[in-house]
């Protein structure tokens, strides 16, 4: 870890990075006249990483962290944007220049099992990059063959990451999860990189082993002057290893700043919710109520307009004409959102009510319909003009006019957060949230609202790709998955056990 010095140039500078995966885009899809759809996995990301520092990239599963890491390394082809490494344009590199970049910038993947070829010995895995890059260039002067030189280098690296040089001819399945991750780290170090993307390097490991691997990564950083981009969904891991943090939500950076600032005074409601989901050590904090963030994680195929977080945000800005408790506003917005996304029809509600009547004669009673909806969307506490409008909309809905009901709610309750996309503002500690753009807004945070946002980080993220129609341009060594890790870890001389 190290603080960037004033005026220092970033080693890596990312501007407006976009990576869209296109689905239903094959010849077969075209023949069937299927419309191609785009998954906006990364949608305009800006980042800088300074020499010797560790930048954390955090966010829930599916928010685009891995795609960001892989795209900036050119393991995936970017849809748009620029990446500069040590002043050079990475997107424009080819030939020798690209080969040099590949030596200078490496990656450690999350899953230490699937990212290691089970048919190769760890010596071959660690030495593979050396062979691909034709190293050593000249035959060693001491009479060793190039192959022997590579084996010696692999031995050295295995020892350096806390394994034993004697294990060079073993296969990945003979190692525990932590040991396999050490092999993955040795492989990433083989070419003497300056910059390494660490893609959730400890998420698949037991907590006790996690600490050992984090210590190892810190030691290696110091010893070799490495610069890290550290991807994690778990903020507690980030706190100890990162100098600065960028928080991602649905393909965008929503907050960035020095780690302590992010932890001690988060600005974005999403960062606050993420922090609330971090397990706490102290006993009194362990008993906190953990409720899921309201609403589902929207799909990156069709992200919400304006601020992408507004469909789950506990602090959505209400229009000037509305001033109701946040949870009531959330209920109204959830109803509207579900209607607009064709999440249900009036007919399906009627059918449910009918089935609950269990064969009795059932008359379609609007009062019962509205009551069911009020219960489903927590609208029972509404009063005054708000209640009148919602009742109106429910009446329209009960008559099967879903679009009109949604329109009625939109006219009365549209939030400024859905109209315009907020941009990152605030200098070194910046956030992309309309709460900061609108100085009129009194941001008096109710701890209950934030409490309600806790725990949602474990909620399922957007669905993974389901079939083979997707862009599949990743290097075959690519990610990911989860494995059980054994507590038994390093066997070598390294003292981080
Ligand atoms: N090859 C692909 N084709 C289509 N969509 C994809 C592909 N790879 C990833 N996605 C989608 O892109 C979005 C971002 O995925 P990504 O893996 O980058 O997120 P992440 O934050 O790293 O999550 P995780 O921690 O679960 O890996 C997700 O919605 C994911 O389903």
Mean pLDDT in residue range 261-282 = 83
Whole-number percent of the chain with pLDDT over 70: 81
Q: What pLDDT, on the 0 to 100 scale, is given for residue 356?
A: 79
449 pLDDT above the threshold of 80: no
Confidence of residue 453 (pLDDT cuts 50, 70, 90): very low
Q: Ligand 1 centre from 462 Cα, in Å?
A: 8
Rounded to 5 degrees, what are φ and ψ at 268? -85, 135
Of the two residues 270 and 496, the one the predictor is more confident about is 270
Distance (Å, whole) CA 445 – CA 433: 14
Please tell me if the CB atom of residue 39 comes closer than 6 angstroms to any atom of ligand 1. yes
How does strand 37-49 pair with strand 12-23? antiparallel
Is the shortest distance between the CB of 76 and ligand 1 below 6 Å? Answer: no
Position in ligand 1 atom list of the atom nearest CA 233: 25
Ligand 1 centroid vs 464 CA: distance in angstroms?
Answer: 6
What's the token pair of residue 134?
């034709």
Using a 6 Å cutoff on CB, does residue 303 contact ligand 1?
A: no
**Residue at token pair 């509207």:** 336
Q: What is the rounded CA–CA span in Å between residue 240 and residue 459?
A: 25
From the list 54, 343, 454, 371, the residue with the least C-alpha distance to 214 is 54
Residue 260 has pLDDT above 80, yes or no: yes
Residues 355-373 have a mean pLDDT of 81
**Residue 36: predicted pLDDT:** 75
Angle between helix axes 402-413 and 384-398 (nearest 10 degrees) is: 160
On the question of pLDDT at 236 being above 90, the answer is no
* pLDDT > 90 fraction of the chain, expressed in percent and rounded: 59
Q: Tell me: pLDDT of 482 over 70.
A: no
User: For position 4, what pLDDT does the model report?
Assistant: 62
Handedness of CA 390, 395, 399, 401 (dihedral sign): negative
In angstroms, the CA 402 to CA 396 distance is 7
pLDDT band at 280 (very low <50, low <70, confident <90, very high): low
CA dist., res. 255 & res. 262, Å (int): 8
DSSP secondary structure letter of residue 20 = E
Please give the structure tokens belonging to residue 145: 């063959």
Residue of 29, 39, 197, 302 to mutate, ligand 1, most atoms within 8 A of C-beta: 39
Ligand 1 atom, smallest distance to 470 CA? 3
Summarize pLDDT for 103-116 with one digit per residue, the tens.
Answer: 999 999 988 778 89
360 vs 298, more confident? 298
Peptide bond into 136 cis (omega under 30): yes
Query: Is 300 a pocket residue for ligand 1 (Cβ < 6 Å)?
Result: yes
How many angstroms is it from 394 CA to the middle of ligand 1? 37
Q: Is the minimum distance from the CB of 311 to ligand 1 under 6 angstroms?
A: no
Q: How far is the CA of 107 from the centre of ligand 1 (A)?
A: 17
The segment(s) of the chain belonging to CATH 3.40.50.300 are 12-250
Q: How far apart are CA 151 and CA 122, in angstroms?
A: 10
Ligand 1 proximity of 71 Cβ (cutoff 6 Å):
no
Contact present, 179 and 485 (Cβ < 8 Å): no
Average confidence score pLDDT of the chain: 83
pLDDT of 479 reads 33
Longest dimension (CA), the chain: 95
pLDDT at 99: 94
DSSP secondary-structure letter at 339? H
Q: Between residues 363 and 269, which one has the greater pLDDT?
A: 269
Closest ligand 1 atom to 42 CA: 14
Q: Which residues of 475-485 are buried (b: 16+ CB within 10 A; e: fewer)?
A: eebbbeeebeb
The whole-number pLDDT of residue 209 equals 93
119-123, 227-231, 353-357: least confident range: 353-357
pLDDT at 489: 55
Are the CB atoms for 102 and 475 separated by under 8 Å? no
Pairing between β-strand 12-23 and β-strand 80-85 as defined by DSSP bridges:
antiparallel
Fold of 12-250: Rossmann fold (3.40.50)
Residue 20 beta carbon below 6 angstroms from any ligand 1 atom: no
Q: Which of 44, 18, 57, 477 is nearest to 271 (CA)?
A: 57
Tokens of 286: 């362990």
Query: Is the pLDDT higher at 387 or at 4?
Result: 387
Q: What is the DSSP letter of 456?
A: G
pLDDT of res. 409: 95
Q: What are phi and psi of 324, to 5 degrees?
A: -125, 160
Mean pLDDT (whole number) for 373-383:
89
| Planar angle of CA 482, 488, 493, nearest 5 degrees | 120
Q: What is the mean pLDDT of residues 156-177?
A: 95
User: Which of 18, 25, 40, 66 best tests ligand 1's pocket when mutated (most atoms within 8 Å of CB)?
Assistant: 66
Q: What is the CA radius of gyration of the chain?
A: 26
Q: Specify the ligand 1 atom closest to the Cα of 63.
A: 21
Whether 199 lines ligand 1, by a CB cut-off of 6 Å, is no
Residue 123's SS3 state is helix
Whether the complex's predicted ipTM is more than 0.95 is answered with yes
Quickly state the pLDDT bin for 291 (edges 50, 70, 90).
very low
Report the residue among 21, 23, 482 best suited for mutation to probe ligand 1: largest number of ligand atoms under 8 A from its CB.
21
pLDDT value for 279: 60
Region 124-147: mean pLDDT is: 89
Q: In this model, does residue 485 exceed pLDDT 80? A: no
Residue 410 has pLDDT above 70, yes or no: yes
Which of the listed ranges 53-57, 350-354, 425-429 does the model predict with the highest average pLDDT? Answer: 53-57
Residue 490 confidence (pLDDT): 52
| CB 110 less than 6 A from any atom of ligand 1 | no
**72-108 pLDDT per residue, tens:** 999 999 999 999 999 999 999 999 999 999 999 999 9
Strongest mean pLDDT among 2-11, 109-118, 192-201: 192-201
pLDDT value for 481: 31
| Rounded distance between C-alpha atoms, residue 224 and residue 221, angstroms | 5
**Angstrom distance (rounded) from CA 160 to CA 186:** 8
More confident residue, 198 or 466: 198
Residue 462 in contact with ligand 1 by CB distance below 6 A: yes
Does residue 75 sit in helix, strand or coil? coil
Place of tokens 């620029």: 82
Q: How far is the CA of 64 from the centre of ligand 1 (A)?
A: 6
* pLDDT, average across residues 481-493: 40
**pLDDT tens-place string over residues 300-353:** 888 999 999 999 999 999 999 999 999 999 999 999 988 988 878 888 888 888
pLDDT score for 293: 56
The answer, yes or no, to whether any atom of ligand 1 lies below 6 A from the CB of 62, is: yes
Greater confidence (346 vs 441) lies with: 346
pLDDT value of position 336: 92
């Amino acid at each position: 870890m190290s603080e960037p010095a004033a005026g220092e140039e970033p080693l890596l500078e990312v501007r407006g990075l976009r990576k869209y995966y296109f689905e239903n885009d094959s010849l077969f899809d075209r023949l069937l006249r299927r419309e191609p759809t785009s998954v906006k996995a990364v949608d305009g990301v800006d980042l800088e990483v300074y020499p010797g520092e560790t930048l954390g990239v955090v966010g829930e599963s599916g928010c685009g962290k891995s795609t960001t890491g892989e795209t900036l390394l050119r393991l995936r082809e970017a849809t748009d944007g620029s990446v500069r490494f040590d002043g050079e344009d990475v997107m424009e590199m080819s030939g020798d220049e690209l080969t040099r970049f590949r030596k200078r910038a490496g990656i450690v993947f999350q899953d230490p099992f699937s990212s290691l070829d089970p048919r190769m010995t760890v010596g071959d895995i660690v030495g593979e990059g050396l062979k691909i890059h034709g190293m050593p260039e000249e035959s060693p002067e001491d009479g060793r063959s190039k192959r022997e030189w590579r084996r010696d280098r692999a031995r050295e690296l295995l020892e350096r990451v806390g394994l034993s040089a004697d294990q060079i001819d073993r296969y990945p399945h003979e190692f525990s999860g932590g040991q396999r991750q050490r092999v993955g780290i040795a492989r990433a170090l083989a070419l003497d990189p300056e910059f390494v993307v660490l893609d959730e390097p400890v998420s698949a490991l037991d907590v006790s082993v996690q600490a050992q691997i984090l210590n190892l990564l810190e030691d290696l950083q110091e010893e070799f002057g490495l610069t890290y981009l550290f991807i994690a969904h778990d903020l507690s891991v980030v706190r100890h290893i990162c100098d600065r943090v960028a928080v991602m939500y649905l393909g965008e950076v929503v907050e960035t700043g020095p780690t302590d600032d992010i932890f001690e005074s988060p600005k974005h409601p999403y960062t606050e919710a993420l922090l609330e989901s971090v397990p706490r050590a102290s006993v009194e904090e362990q008993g906190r109520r953990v409720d899921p963030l309201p609403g589902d994680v929207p799909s990156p195929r069709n992200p919400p307009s304006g601020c992408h977080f507004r469909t789950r945000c506990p602090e959505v800005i209400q229009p000037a004409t509305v001033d109701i408790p946040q949870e009531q506003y959330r209920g109204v917005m959830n109803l509207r959102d579900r209607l607009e996304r064709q999440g249900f029809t009036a007919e399906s509600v009627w059918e449910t009510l009918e089935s609950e009547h269990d064969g009795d004669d059932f008359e379609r009673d609007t009062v019962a319909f509205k009551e069911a909806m009020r219960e489903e969307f927590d609208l029972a506490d509404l009063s005054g003009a708000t209640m009148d409008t919602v009742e109106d909309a429910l009446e329209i809905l009960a008559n099967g006019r879903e679009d009109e009901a949604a329109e009625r709610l939109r006219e009365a309750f549209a939030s400024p957060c859905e109209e315009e996309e907020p941009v990152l503002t605030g200098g070194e500690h910046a956030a992309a949230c309309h709460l900061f753009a609108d100085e009129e807004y009194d941001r008096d945070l109710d701890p209950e609202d934030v409490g309600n946002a806790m725990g949602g980080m474990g909620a399922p993220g957007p669905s993974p790709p389901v079939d083979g129609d997707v862009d599949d341009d990743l290097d075959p060594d690519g990610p990911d998955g989860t494995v059980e890790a054994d507590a038994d870890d390093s066997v070598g001389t390294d003292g981080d056990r």
